Amino acid sequence: MQELNILAKSTSDNLDLPRISSDTNDSFLLGKVYIESYGCQMNFADSEVVTAILINNGYGTTSNIQEADSILLNTCAIRDNAEQKIRHRLQTFKAIKSKNPKVVIGILGCMAERLKTKLIEEEKLVDLVAGPDSYRDLPNLLGQIENGQKAINVFLSKEETYGDIEPVRLHSNGVSAFVSIMRGCDNMCSFCVVPFTRGRERSRDLDSILDECQKLYEKGFREINLLGQNVDSYRWENPSTKELITFDKLISLTAQIHTDLRIRFSTSHPKDITNEVLYAMKKHSNICKNIHLPAQSGSNRILDKMNRTYTREWYLDRIRAIREILGNDCGISHDIIAGFCSEDDQDHQDTLSLLNEVIFDFGYMFTYSERPGTPAAKKYTDNVPLEVKSKRLQEIIDLQRKHSGIRNEQMINSIQKVLVEGNSKKSNQHHFGKTDNNKIVVFEKGSEKVGSYVDVKITACTTGTLLGHLNLTNT
């Protein structure tokens, strides 16, 4: 799963801006809530669940922080800088709180779960702390604050999937939507805080997933992003038939809702992605040919210390299987961490050589940030100096940028089926959309509508974007 406030991004997507709640027009009873979201797509999807829970309980939402009765920040704890961003943001709320002491400041999500009561003790502004599995309790927690108390619920559940809650789409372009299929993670990669902030892995029931996707299609959405920390380990047993639904079956069933509904998913784990998943992708033309397969490192010694449970050779074998089954055009992206504990120059060279062997389309790249309480923090020393981490990261970013350029150039002169998502950021004479393999394409508008498919001939590219024109003879 990818954090959206990313350190090194090379697409033109506006992903690093916090997303905020939209307005409800309905008359509301209990006050207006403003929600700002940080972190990965799952957090953004959760904010949509939170909004639904609040609206169902008589609250309204607002995108204007000044008129909010409650300000909720849905936070991330994946790296220290994600948490620093939130602390900094809280400082800017001081003025709001001093003008209106009644305004409620709440912290949701992974940082809330990690720091628990500490947040209320350290940040005097904070009135409410709610972890990722306690959102059904939010109306009750907000009620407690009205009675003059601070409110906290950081209970992690083994069952909660919010499967029955229909999310309220925030800032949606009406074309693409996130659908959570599971929560938590059981993997225990040594560097990672997620198992501690999101708890045990659990899969959402199939029927509620299909129902949500069907409704989205009927509302005009044309792209579904199925979300989980490790989607390949999706497992759900039908209680009456005892049929086991694995991830390959889940994507096949969602793909059958309509051939015009594109299915994407993330994140895949190299140890779990099966050939069955790849064959399901091949069989259904509307399952997008793009796989996000975090590598983290190209060095077996480091992969072992990270407890990733695969080797470089295993990872490369999965890449070979993807290209053999789905062809060379299938988009493949990665995550890499530079400067994990004890990483030496040879380990770093192994990461660069992995990149050179694969030639990825895209990557999210980070310097290692020690997270308190994780196995790595307990067992190893964070001993790669920051300058070395940053230098290695820069080399990785530079190489990835070169590779993104190579992969994009390979698409020049091809004709791509593009789902139109909206006006290009730079010009309202241009539309933008995505190719099947997840590349952003900008092209001069014709008569097509947002949410429709067009054939675009790719004529040029940058490292982050493809440029093209409508291929009218073929539409």
How far, in Å, CA of 127 to CA of 427, rounded? Answer: 43
Contact 234, 203 (CB under 8 A): yes
Residues 6 or more apart whose CB falls under 8 angstroms from that of 139 comprise 30, 53, 54, 57, 58, 59
The distance of Cα 67 from the centroid of its chain, to the nearest Å, equals 29
In 3D space, the residue among 140, 79, 89, 137 whose CA is nearest the CA of residue 110 turns out to be: 79
Q: Is 202 in the site for ligand SF4 (CB under 6 A)?
A: no
Q: Is 296 in the site for ligand SAH (CB under 6 A)?
A: yes
How many Cα atoms within 13 Å fall on the side-chain side of residue 198?
27
Span 1-20, contacts to ligand SAH by CB under 6 A: 1-3
Burial degree of 158 (CB within 10 A; 0-12, 13-18, 19+):
exposed
Contact 471, 456 (CB under 8 A): yes
In 3D space, the residue among 464, 305, 280, 269 whose CA is nearest the CA of residue 380 turns out to be: 305
**Partner from ligand SAH, ligand F3S, ligand SF4, none contacting 184, C-beta within 5 to 8 A by type:** none
Q: Is 192 in the site for ligand SF4 (CB under 6 A)?
A: yes
Residues that bind ligand SAH (rule: CB under 6 A) add up to a total of 20
Q: Is 209 in the site for ligand SAH (CB under 6 A)?
A: no
With contacts defined by CB under 6 A, name the span among 68-76, 158-166, 187-195, 444-452 that binds ligand SF4: 187-195
Nearer to ligand SAH, 170 or 194 (CB): 194
The distance of Cα 381 from the centroid of its chain, to the nearest Å, equals 29
With contacts defined by CB under 6 A, name the span among 119-127, 164-172, 364-372, 440-448 that binds ligand SAH: 364-372
CA 230, 231, 233, 238 torsion: positive or negative?
positive
Name the strand (E) or helix (H) holding 50.
helix 41-56
Distance between start and end Cα atoms, the chain: 35
Q: Which of 195, 199, 451, 468 binds ligand SF4 (CB under 6 A)?
A: 195
Q: What's the min distance (Å) between Cβ of 349 and ligand F3S?
A: 28
Span 316-375, contacts to ligand SF4 by CB under 6 A: none
How far, in Å, CA of 381 to CA of 205, rounded? Answer: 41
Q: Is 371 in the site for ligand SAH (CB under 6 A)?
A: yes
**Partner from ligand SF4, ligand F3S, ligand SAH, none contacting 195, C-beta within 5 to 8 A by type:** ligand SF4
Span 229-248, contacts to ligand SF4 by CB under 6 A: 229-230
Interface pattern 135-174 for ligand SF4 (x via CB under 6 A): ----------------------------------------
In 3D space, the residue among 139, 249, 233, 226 whose CA is nearest the CA of residue 186 turns out to be: 233
Contact 139, 59 (CB under 8 A): yes
How far, in Å, CA of 79 to CA of 367, rounded? Answer: 9
Give residues in contact with ligand F3S (CB under 6 A): 1, 3, 39-40, 42-43, 76-78, 109-110, 193-194, 197-198
Q: Which of 269, 371, 392, 407 binds ligand SF4 (CB under 6 A)?
A: 269
**Partner from ligand SAH, ligand F3S, ligand SF4, none contacting 333, C-beta within 5 to 8 A by type:** none
**Partner from ligand SAH, ligand F3S, ligand SF4, none contacting 403, C-beta within 5 to 8 A by type:** none
How far, in Å, CA of 247 to CA of 226, rounded? Answer: 10
Q: Is 295 in the site for ligand SF4 (CB under 6 A)?
A: no
Nearer to ligand F3S, 114 or 392 (CB): 114
How far, in Å, CA of 76 to CA of 194, rounded? Answer: 9
Nearer to ligand SF4, 51 or 229 (CB): 229
Q: Is 75 in the site for ligand SAH (CB under 6 A)?
A: no
How far, in Å, CA of 258 to CA of 73, rounded? Answer: 36
**Partner from ligand SF4, ligand F3S, ligand SAH, none contacting 335, C-beta within 5 to 8 A by type:** ligand SAH
Span 226-245, contacts to ligand SAH by CB under 6 A: 229-230
Q: Which residues would be at the binding site for ligand SAH (CB under 6 A)?
A: 1-3, 78-79, 191-192, 194, 229-230, 267, 269, 294, 296, 335, 337, 366, 368-369, 371
